[in-house]
Structure 1
Amino acid sequence: MDFKDYYSALGVARDASDDDIRKAYRKLARKYHPDVSKEADADAKMREINEARDVLQDKEKRAAYDQLADHVARGGSPDGGFRQPPPGWDEGFEFHRGPNAGPADHADFSEFFSSIFGNRGGMGGGTQRGPYRERGEDHHAAIEISLEDALHGAERQLSLRAQEIDEQGRPHLVNRTLDVKIPAGVRPGQYIRLAGQGLPGHGGEAAGDLYLEVRIAPHKLYRIEGHDLYMTLPVTPTEAALGAHVTVPTPAGAQVDVTIPKGARSGMKLRLKERGLPGKTPGHLYLLLEIALPPADSDAARAAYEALAKATPSFNPRQNLGG
């Protein structure tokens, strides 16, 4: 019987945190779950990573396993094989069924697992103090909203497909619809927490939470950076050179008058204070000036361009390029 390296099975280091182990398990489960995997050895790999997760996510099982691993390493067995754990190796430990193991799950685990923890995760014939209790795992999903929803807040219905475990311990997909309240001022990358909408708990413990990562759909006028909004504002050469007053739409729907300063350049940034995303510290709306040239599509327009060229003979926009 070979000694099983549960850390290698999950691809994590021995000092991996609980979060590292959860992430590694989820990544491998997405690859090898029999419902979705095309790998030839998916069933065997899924049993292997389930067994590794069962041990490494249980504090006492992991500590006892590490102690046994050290003992085996000191024995110097070249192939990692051994017949049975040494007497007294598990003194001071009490094991219980792992957090996500169904009634039949441990029956599919290896002979190595059974020799250490017993067929049902107990102490090789020992007893359990009581049923396993643990809060349900949190789940994560994404929700895309409009900029208007982010500005004003909204209520939306979200349809999700989630994997659940049936009474026989088999995974299956279920569809569910949730009502989501979107707070005003939410930003891309923030999370909306729906309490109790994650996986159910064990032994009467509370369910986990569902965290929705906010994504804001592209807008035809505005782009978002943190709390601030940016908009490109086209101006004519005359408005840029001589200065002007123009009307600009704001994200809240109002129209405001903006002063274009004399001698404005493309790329110049004007700020409209607190016209960005709302919040305890409201964001601003920044206007990026872009000089738009009128087309020379008439005799009058061409004559105007020719007159401008004659009036500014020394103007060379490429003078700083060198050469």
Structure 2
Amino acid sequence: MSTKDYLEKDYYAVLGVPKTATADEIKKAYRKLARQYHPDANQGDAAKEARFKEISEANDVLSDSKRRKEYDEARTLFGSGVGAPRPGGGSGGFPFDFGDLFGGTGQQGGSTSDRIGDLFGGLFNRGGGAGARTTGATTRPRRGQDIESEVTLSFTEAVEGHTVSLRLTTSSACKACSGTGAKAGTTPRVCPTCEGTGAASRNLGNFAFSEPCRDCKGRGLLVDDPCPVCDGSGRAKSTRTIQARIPAGVADGQRVKLKGKGAPGENGGPAGDLYIQTHVKPHAVFGRSGDNLTITVPVTFTEAALGAEIKVPVLKGLPVTLRIPAGTPNGRTFRVRGRGAARKDGTKGDLLATVEVLVPKQLDDKSRELLTEFRTATASEDPRADLIQRARSE
């Protein structure tokens, strides 16, 4: 991310959220916009594809707490005003050089110190600093954008893990012109306005402000005979199909990150990441409670009263035998170890079996006679006596 991105782009406005938005609010706004402007849903609509890129870029920064803090600090420092420049490169009101403070030495890539060093190098127009840093920014490797996709899994696939095929549409270097933007057989020329730096300096009284060159749009190059495939942009939409492994134990609504599976980087930069939003279909028998699976097991009145050994199904494999002790009440839950969903450490959760005592809807004469005898034998026991007594005591 270059300095001009921090200064010129209002990522909060792109996502339509206030600066005080929480991480969940940012995530919700991003997902809503991503579904609306995703290239797969807007085939051939260049404007919506560009909008999708802006949304993804804004989410890359604001969804990362560290990068969001850097972004907010850079924009706050710039917006608050820092005084007029002093002779020798220092700034009014500050007895030091911002380039020395934030630029550092030995920094590689697009670190925070580089970005803030670029900001103040261009802001105070230090001798040679702005041009040199801006030139480096235009050729510096840039990480590819992150991509978000969605998959729907069956209950079993989510518990055990599953490999899915995903068709991804991303922006990459145009193959027809190898990313130069120029028609085959021609080459771009260095922009005479910015001399290939991609940036121009605009004087604002006592200091100068560095901004993208208007002639070359920040590329540093001009294309006289544009490539007919990409219209001179150097970028083209590409579609690829990948095999993505969804890990075992994934839950409904969970976001799975696949590192390096996003859009290709620029100038040798690393690829972005792929984020997969998972949706899990419900099961006819089993449910989920964290890493545990749940099941409701019907038992008869006699099994609950006298005790029994019953067969209970598991998600995969043969049923297990569950011992029901005598006097088991309705709603009691039993734990079957190691028959749940997979955990990150390779172990499994448990199966939680809750018994449901069934009351027969129809009785034959023999059953009715026996139950009548049972009722007579237990008539002296009032299961509600304690309940009534405790209700009166309040």
Q: Give the structure 1 partner of residue 265 of structure 2.
A: 201
1:208 to partner: Cα distance: 0.9
Superposed CA offset, 1:54-111 (max 9, x none): x998999987754442239x99xxxxxxxxxxxx8998599xxxx9xxxxxxxxxxxx
Alpha-carbon distance, 1:235 to partner: 0.5
Contact 1:274/1:282, CA 8 A, preserved across alignment: yes
Aligned to 1:269: 333
Whichever residue aligns with residue 360 of structure 2, its letter is: P
What is the CA distance between 1:29 and its match in structure 2?
5.7
Determine whether 1:308 maps to 2:318: no
CA distance in 1, matches of 2:36, 2:259: 30
**Identical aligned pairs, as a percentage?**
31
1:285 aligns with 2:343: no
Name the residue aligned to 1:71. 81
Q: What's 2:315 paired with? A: 251
The verdict on how the C-alpha distance between 1:223 and 1:34 changes in structure 2, with shifts beyond 3 A counting, is closer
2:306 is the alignment partner of 1:242: yes
Query: Cα offset for 1:313?
Result: 1.9
Among residues 144, 157, 164, which one is paired with 1:149 in the alignment? 157
TM-score by length of 2: 0.52
Change (3 A) 1:287 1:26: closer
Quote how far apart the aligned CAs of 1:176 are. 4.7
Task: Note the C-alpha offset of 1:287.
Answer: 1.0
- Gapped runs of 5+ residues in structure 1? 76-87, 100-115, 117-121
- Given the alignment of the two structures, is residue 231 of structure 1 paired with residue 238 of structure 2, yes or no? no
Alpha-carbon deviations, 1:275-318, whole Å to 9, x = none?
22245332111211110111225444444443333332244454
Number of residue pairs the alignment of both structures matches: 274
Deviation by residue 1:177-215 (Cα, 9 ceiling, x = unmatched): 331234444455655443332122122211112132444
Tell me the equivalent position of 2:274: 210
2:147 — aligned with what?
139
CA distance in 2, matches of 1:60, 1:139: 22
Confirm or deny: 8 A CA contact 2:170 2:239 kept in the other structure. Answer: no
SS of residue matched to 2:376: helix
Q: Distance in 2 between matches of 1:123 and 1:201?
A: 25
Say which is worse superposed, 146-155 or 276-285, in terms of deviation.
146-155
> For the structure 1 residues 32 and 6, does the alpha-carbon distance in structure 2 shift closer, same or farther, using more than 3 Å as the test?
farther
Superposed CA deviations along residues 3-49 of structure 1, whole A, max 9, x for unmatched, are x99587455449x99x8998699479659969999xxxx99xx7xx8
CA RMSD of aligned residues (A): 5.2
What stretches of structure 2 of length at least 5 have no aligned partner?
A: 1-7, 85-90, 104-109, 111-122, 124-128, 175-229
Q: Aligned with 1:69: secondary structure?
A: helix
The verdict on how the C-alpha distance between 1:163 and 1:20 changes in structure 2, with shifts beyond 3 A counting, is farther
Equivalent-residue separation in structure 2 for 1:24 and 1:270 (angstroms): 38
SS in 2 for 1:241: helix
Q: CA deviation at 1:153?
A: 3.7
Match of 1:295 in 2: 361
- Secondary structure class of the residue paired with 1:128: helix
Q: Is the 8 A contact 1:12 1:20 kept in 2?
A: no
Q: Which residue of 1 aligns with 2:185?
A: none
Q: Is the 8 A contact 1:198 1:208 kept in 2?
A: yes
2:217 match: none
| 1:230 Cα offset (Å) | 1.3
Structure with greater contact order relative to length (CA < 8 Å, sep ≥ 6): 2
Letter in 1 for 2:286: Y
| Distance in 1 between residues matched to 2:73 and 2:278, nearest whole Å | 39
